[in-house]
Structure 1
C-alpha cells in the first residue's frame, strides 16, 4: 500500500500550475473564449518547447494523432465538397495545445489538476454563497448575460438580466461544464480514490460541495455511479456483490432517479420532448439533440459533416443562418454532436486511445468504467470542443501497483 499522499508528487513548479490552470480556462472560460488566438498561442508554446528541447518522444506521441485528423479532414473534403482550412487547422492547434500540457506535466498532471480544481471549487463556493445569500456578485469583463471575474462566472436570464442563475458555474460557461471538470478528479484517481479520501479529505469534501452546488443532473448521476462502483469494487466477497450489493445499487438508482425532484422531472421532460419531436426538429436537450443528430450521423457516418456550419447544418437552413449570425445554438449532447461533426471514426479513435492510456495503469474493469464515465460526461456538454477532454488520452498516470 502507498504510504505517502496520493495527490502529492515532487518537483511541481508554479509553471506546472500555470499550465494546468490555463488548460482548464482554455477549455470553457467565457473570458478566454473572447480572446482571439489563445489555442493557437498555446499550440505555439508546444512547438517552441519541442524545438528548443528537442523532444523527439513528444513528436512520436502527437504525430499519429495529427496524421489521423489530417486524413479525417481530407475525407470530409471529398465527401462534403468543401472544407475551409481554418477548421482542420483549429483542430490540430487544439490537439497540439492539449497534448503539450499533458506531455509537459507527465505523471504530475493529476496531482496538479486535483489542486487547481480544489482552488476553483473553494473560490466558487465563496462567490456562490455571497450571491445566493446577500445577492453580491462581481463583474470585470462586461460579457453579455454573464458576470465574470475569471475564476468564477454566473449567468443571467437573457430576457431579464436581473435574474441570476442560482447554480454554481465555477469559471465556466455552464454549471454542467463545471460538474464535468470536477468529475475528472475521480476519473483520474479512480484506482486509488479511497486513499485520496483518507489523506486529502478536506480538499475532496470541498470539491464534492462544489459539485453539489452545480445541481447538474449528469454530474449527480456520474458521482453516484462512482460511489457505487467503489463500494462494489472494494467488496472482497464475490457472492456478496452479486446477491446483495447489485440489487441494492439498482434499488438506490431507481430511487435516485425518480425521487429527487429536479433530476427525475428533468429526465422525464427531456424524454417526452425528444419523443414528441419529428426527426428534423432541433432540440438542445440531451435526448432531443441525440435524436436530432442521428440523421446527420447516418448521412456521413465515417468522416462526419464537419464543423463548418454550412455542412454541419446542411439540411437545416434556419440553424445554419442562426449559427453564422453568431447565435449559440446550445447543443445539448456533446457525444452525438462530435459524432455528427467529426464522424464515428474520430469518436472511436478517441475512445480507443483513451482505453490504451488508462489501461497502462488501471485494471481492465477500471478502464472500461472510465470509458463509461467519459461517454456519460459527453452526454451533458460538448467537452470535445475543448482541449482538456479532447486530449485526455495523452495523460500519463503514475504506475501504482498496490492492487496485488
Structure 2
C-alpha cells in the first residue's frame, strides 16, 4: 500500500510540475552544494568540534529526527563514520553524490553540454569531496562519453584519448578499482552472514552480497516479485541483514514486470527530455540510474520515483533554453 501511494504521488508531482520539477530541483541543489562547500572545510580542520556544533544545533530543531548514525541540521549533515567525506544535506556521502550527479546532468542539458560552467563546477567540486566510488565512476567514466556522444565525430576523436587517460588515473585511487574488486570478490559473504548464529541488531550485506541474496529471492518469485513485504524474503534467523543494492532489491521486489517498467519508464522519460534540447544518449542516463540504484537502496524514495515518470510529461510541453529564461515552460 505504501509503495502504491508513493507511485501515485510521484505521478501527481510530475503531472503537476512537468519538466519544471528538474529545474526547481537543480536550483535547490545548487544552493545546498554551496552550503556544503562552506561547511566542509570546518569538518576537515576539526572534525570533532564541527560534529559537536552540528549535534548541538540539531538538538534545537524540534522536527529533526534523532539518528544514531548521523546528525543533521537539514541543510547539512555529518555521518559519524564520515571522516573527511562530505555528507552534504542527505544521510551519507554516497547519497549526496547521487543527488549531485542528477544536478550535473540537468545543468549540462540546460547549458549546451558545457562542463566549463559555474554551476557544473560547483557540483563537480562538491562531488569530489564526497569521495564516492559511484559518483567518481559516473563523473569520469560515463558523463564525458554522454557529452561526447552529442558532439561531432571530430570532437569525439579529439577528446576520447584524454578522457581515457584521466579515467585510467582516477581508477588507480584507493576507493576505485581496488574497492570494486574487493566488493566483487566478497559476493559470497552472504552465506556466512545467513548462517552466523551471533545476535546483532542489524548487519549490512554489502552491494554484491545483497545482489546475490536478492537474486535468490528473484528466482523464487520471478514474475511480479515479493513487493515491499520483507517477511518472506531471505533473511537470517538471528540478525536483520540490511540490503544495500537498490537495483537488485527492485528486481526481487517487483520481478520481471517491475524491472521492465523501471527501464521503460526511465528510458522514455530521458528520451523525451533530451529531445526537447535536440540531444541524444538516453541509454547513458538509464545506465547512470542503474549504477545509482545498484549502489544505493532508493527503491521507495519519492525523488527517484519521480524520475521514472518523466515520460508522463505531455508532448506539447517544451523547455525554453536561453540565457534569460532557462527552465521556463511554454505550452504550445
Name the TM tier (shorter chain).
0.7 to 0.9
Most deviating of 270-279 and 350-359: 270-279
**Contact 1:279 1:291 (C-alpha < 8 Å) held by counterparts:** no
> 1:264 Cα deviation (Å)?
2.3
**Contact 1:121 1:206 (C-alpha < 8 Å) held by counterparts:** yes
> 1:117 Cα deviation (Å)?
0.5
Most deviating of 135-144 and 261-270: 135-144
In structure 1, the residue matched to 2:100 is 182
Q: Is the counterpart of residue 265 in structure 1 residue 178 in structure 2?
A: yes
In structure 1, the residue matched to 2:225 is 304
Give the one of 41, 44, 64 matched to 1:129.
41
SS in structure 1 opposite 2:258? helix
Inter-CA distance 308–276: structure 2 relative to 1 (3 Å threshold): closer
Give the one of 81, 85, 93 matched to 2:5.
93
1:246-395 equivalences in 2 (<5 Å) = 246=160, 249-257=163-171, 259-274=172-187, 278=191, 281=194, 284-313=205-234, 316-318=235-237, 322-323=239-240, 329-362=241-274, 365-395=280-310
SS in structure 2 opposite 1:391? helix
Q: What TM-score results when the alignment is normalised by the length of structure 2? A: 0.77
SS in structure 2 opposite 1:291? helix
In structure 2, the residue matched to 1:119 is 31
Q: Is the counterpart of residue 228 in structure 1 residue 140 in structure 2?
A: no
Q: Is the counterpart of residue 205 in structure 1 residue 121 in structure 2?
A: yes
Q: What TM-score results when the alignment is normalised by the length of structure 1? A: 0.65
> 1:335 Cα deviation (Å)?
0.4
Cα distance in 1, alignment partners of residues 178 and 253 from structure 2:
30
Cα distance in 2, alignment partners of residues 246 and 206 from structure 1:
24
Cα distance in 2, alignment partners of residues 124 and 345 from structure 1:
39
Cα distance in 2, alignment partners of residues 241 and 207 from structure 1:
24
Q: Any unmatched runs of 5+ in structure 2?
A: 59-63, 195-202, 323-332
**Contact 1:118 1:204 (C-alpha < 8 Å) held by counterparts:** no
Count of residue pairs brought into register by the alignment: 294
**Contact 2:146 2:284 (C-alpha < 8 Å) held by counterparts:** no
**Contact 1:152 1:172 (C-alpha < 8 Å) held by counterparts:** yes
In structure 2, the residue matched to 1:109 is 21
SS in structure 1 opposite 2:97? helix
Cα distance in 2, alignment partners of residues 92 and 197 from structure 1:
38
In structure 2, the residue matched to 1:143 is 67
**Contact 1:170 1:178 (C-alpha < 8 Å) held by counterparts:** yes
Inter-CA distance 265–116: structure 2 relative to 1 (3 Å threshold): same
User: Which structure is higher in helix share?
Assistant: 1
Residues 316-344 of structure 1, C-alpha deviations (whole Å, 9 max, x = no match) = 342xx644xxxxx4422110111112212
